[in-house]
Amino acid sequence: MKELTYFYLPGCPFCKQASAWMEELIKENPDYGKIPVQRVDEKQNRALADQYDYWLVPSFFIGDEKLHEGAATKDIIKKVLDKALE
């Protein structure tokens, strides 16, 4: 299992949707709830956000590997969580 880094902005509708899908997927598969997720508000933690290569939120990384950037579907969030479970 690998730690996810999740960059978001509180007012971003795409981030809110991604978070809602994460919660829904955790209810469907409790193993997803065991994944460590570092949630980073890019406005509050600009120094950390600047260390990663992305332009849009929500963005998901495992280490330096970008898994997804920008608006997501439930299926995309599932693939991100599945990758973290590997």
Report domain extents, the chain: 11-85
Instruction: Provide the 10 A C-beta neighbour count for residue 81.
Output: 22
CA–CA gap between residue 47 and residue 6 (Å, rounded): 15
For residue range 12-69, what is the model confidence (pLDDT) as tens digits?
A: 999 999 999 999 999 999 999 999 999 999 999 999 999 999 999 999 999 999 999 9
- Is-cis flag, bond preceding 10, omega within 30? no
Instruction: Tell whether pTM > 0.85.
Output: yes
Buried b (16+ CB within 10 A) or exposed e, 39-61: ebbbeeeeeebeeeebeebbbbb
CA–CA gap between residue 68 and residue 9 (Å, rounded): 15
HSE (CB half, 13 Å, CA atoms) of 43? Answer: 5
